[in-house]
Chains A and B, each alone.
Chain A
Amino acid sequence: MQISANYANEFEKIAEAYEKSGGDASNLLDKSISSIIISGDKIIGLNTVKGVEIESGTQEKGVWAKIRILKGNKIEKPIHLCTGFLGKEGEQRVNFDFFIEDDAEVSFISHCSFPWSTKLTHKMVANVHIGKNAVMTYNDEHFHSEAGGVTLISDTHAVVEDGGKYENNFELTKTRVGTLKVRMDVDLKKNAVAKFDSKIRGKEDDEISIVESLGLNGEGAHGIAKSTVVATDRTRARIINEAFGNAPYSKGHIECNEITKGDKVDVSTLPVLKVTNDLSELTHEASIGRVNSEQLDTLMAKGMSEDEATEFIIRGILR
């Protein structure tokens, strides 16, 4: 990919932020990798490979992109989506439409990096359509500023056609969260499969709100929605996991684990299971509490202090 001279400096900063969030910036320039680089309200780099079609444009305070994976194509290398904001204050709106055509297969690596923003609202709306027997994996990692001034509002709606598979992994564990409002829902058709996995670590006065919803609407549809939240200091977290068993032989499992550290945290989890077809099976697991005392004792007996042991356990849980 070629970055125009006008954006060379901007790309350099975006690449720096991308690397901070754990990405490998060299991938963004690799011609064999499809990628989109967004800075503020501009797309400063775009590359496509065979089997991938991308349309894009600007909108008020942001950008939009329509990404289509053509029928039967298996995209060998993950598509990289790099979203950054270099200013300290502002708003960024990003709309993505994903069309994964029948029998296609693709994975995405998305890095959203706002390390310098002290007051930023980032709004992302994604519509995902996964065709019959198609597969899409979306790994979304966020890297925010330590000032805690980032507000992230993310809304993803997915439809997975017969036999399709969809996996969405969201991670915000390396920096402060700020304010987070994530909603993900999926409409699963016959024998379709979905997995949501969110891992978030909150500290100071971070606010976390997650809603994950599985619509098991086709016969034999399967889904898992799992959230793991580590809440420290004065973090507030509200987690809702939902599963709706509307079709025979559909199975859904929802799970929420919240680890607390600090006597001022305020966390809750609400599992919602609803069955409208008596051949559907739904299960849930939930836990809220401090790090397991047996794990702590095991590590402390090896010479780790309680703080070291807690950190060691939490890092493992969020891995």
Chain B
Amino acid sequence: MLELKNISLTIDENKILNNLNMRFDEGKRYVILGNNGTGKSTIANLMMGVKKYHPQEGKILLNGKDITDLGVYERAKLGITIAFQNSVRFEGITTFDYLTLGGKVKASLEDAKKALELAGLNSDYLKRRVDSSLSGGERKRIELASILMLEMKYVILDEPDSGIDMMSLETISNIINILNKRGTTTITITHREEIAQNSDYAYLICAGRVFNEGAPEKMASYYKELCDRCDHPNDLLKIAESR
């Protein structure tokens, strides 16, 4: 079980997360739903241990063990990984090299082809370089394929749909379900309620707090009715604080 307990995070004097509490049980599909600017990606980076996102208050626990001070690599060794929102470019690295991490991931060419296919790309991409010759959407799909090549206990997908067309929601759901069948806990961060439908539990985030949580259908509908038309998430800080 991965837990965020009373987490508060301030960056450059801006309070991004405010006494946040979340819990992710093993083998379930979670979604973190919220408008842009509400702190969702901050939660993703914080869970992965990215340096800039170390909380000033609160703890991150993995099966009861405090991992708050562990960095990205140490958390990956414990079975936590992420597909970051922005899929970065790697000059000179082919997709095959990237998927197998230069041989560190013991996988066959067929495994790589299959992962790529599940992410919606054909095997021609294996020889292509993960650089600026690929679009952001193509790199995003390669990133999703790379997640399928790993065997992790917790997978954080930060806005997996950004840069990918509507038709691909099915691809994303499919990947989440494949991971789920392997027993992986998936934590999908999104501002689209359609993605929330394919989960077991949803957190609704507003102004760096859990504003509501529960059944995905209920949270999706709540989000659509209230949050979707709210252009000023920061104004909700007062409401959130009063809860």
CA gap between A312 and B100 in the complex, in Å: 11
The 8 Å CB contact of A305, one of B51, B73, B87, B90, is B73
* Given contact pairs A297-B72, A308-B104, A312-B102, A303 touches B91 in the complex (Cβ within 8 A): no
CA gap between A294 and B84 in the complex, in Å: 9
Complex interface: chain A residues within 8 A of B126 (CB): none
A residues lining the B interface (CB < 8 Å)? 292-295, 297-306, 308, 312-313, 315-319
CA gap between A306 and B76 in the complex, in Å: 12
B93 at the interface (CB under 8 A from A): yes
Distance from A108 Cβ to chain B, minimum over Cβ atoms (Å) = 23
CA gap between A294 and B86 in the complex, in Å: 9
Complex interface: chain A residues within 8 A of B75 (CB): 301
B109 at the interface (CB under 8 A from A): no
Contact B73 A312, beta carbon cutoff 8 Å: no
CA gap between A308 and B104 in the complex, in Å: 10
CA gap between A301 and B155 in the complex, in Å: 10
Contact B101 A302, beta carbon cutoff 8 Å: yes
Contact B88 A300, beta carbon cutoff 8 Å: no
Interface size in chain B (residues, C-beta < 8 A): 27
Contact A316 B93, beta carbon cutoff 8 Å: yes
The 8 Å CB contact of B88, one of A294, A305, A315, A319, is A294
Contact B72 A317, beta carbon cutoff 8 Å: no
CA gap between A316 and B104 in the complex, in Å: 15
Contact A298 B88, beta carbon cutoff 8 Å: yes
CA gap between A303 and B87 in the complex, in Å: 17
Complex interface: chain B residues within 8 A of A317 (CB): 91-92
Complex interface: chain A residues within 8 A of B198 (CB): none
CA gap between A258 and B82 in the complex, in Å: 29
CA gap between A298 and B93 in the complex, in Å: 14
Contact B76 A303, beta carbon cutoff 8 Å: yes
Complex interface: chain B residues within 8 A of A300 (CB): 71-73, 76
Contact A303 B92, beta carbon cutoff 8 Å: no
Complex interface: chain A residues within 8 A of B81 (CB): 301-303
Contact A304 B104, beta carbon cutoff 8 Å: yes
CA gap between A294 and B87 in the complex, in Å: 9
Distance from B109 Cβ to chain A, minimum over Cβ atoms (Å) = 19
Please provide the 9 A-B residue pairs with the shortest distance between their CB atoms, ordered closest to farther: A316-B92, A319-B92, A316-B93, A300-B73, A300-B72, A303-B76, A294-B88, A301-B82, A301-B81
CA gap between A293 and B72 in the complex, in Å: 11
Complex interface: chain A residues within 8 A of B186 (CB): none
The 8 Å CB contact of B101, one of A293, A295, A299, A319, is A299
Contact B101 A316, beta carbon cutoff 8 Å: no
CA gap between A299 and B81 in the complex, in Å: 10
CA gap between A304 and B72 in the complex, in Å: 10
Complex: chain A residue closest to B81, CB-CB: A301
Contact A316 B91, beta carbon cutoff 8 Å: yes
Complex interface: chain A residues within 8 A of B73 (CB): 300, 303-306
B77 at the interface (CB under 8 A from A): yes
Contact A316 B90, beta carbon cutoff 8 Å: yes
Contact A303 B77, beta carbon cutoff 8 Å: yes
Q: Which of B65-98 contact A (CB under 8 A)?
A: 71-73, 75-77, 80-82, 84, 86-88, 90-93, 97
Contact A303 B150, beta carbon cutoff 8 Å: yes
The 8 Å CB contact of A292, one of B88, B93, B102, is B88
The 8 Å CB contact of A302, one of B50, B93, B146, is B146
Of the listed residues A299, A301, A319, the one surrounded by the most CB atoms of chain B closer than 10 A to its CB is: A301
Complex: chain A residue closest to B77, CB-CB: A303
Q: Which of B86-136 contact A (CB under 8 A)?
A: 86-88, 90-93, 97, 101-102, 104-105
* Given contact pairs A294-B84, A312-B102, A301 touches B92 in the complex (Cβ within 8 A): no
B202 at the interface (CB under 8 A from A): no
A-B contact list, 12 entries, CB within 8 Å: A294-B84, A298-B84, A300-B71, A302-B146, A308-B104, A313-B90, A313-B93, A315-B102, A316-B97, A317-B92, A318-B92, A319-B93
Complex: chain A residue closest to B89, CB-CB: A295
Distance from B51 Cβ to chain A, minimum over Cβ atoms (Å) = 8
* Given contact pairs A316-B92, A317-B91, A317-B92, A297 touches B50 in the complex (Cβ within 8 A): yes
Kindly list 12 other residue pairs between chains A and B, CB separation below 8 angstroms, not including A302-B76, A303-B73.
A294-B86, A295-B88, A297-B48, A300-B71, A301-B75, A301-B80, A302-B81, A303-B101, A308-B104, A313-B90, A315-B92, A317-B91
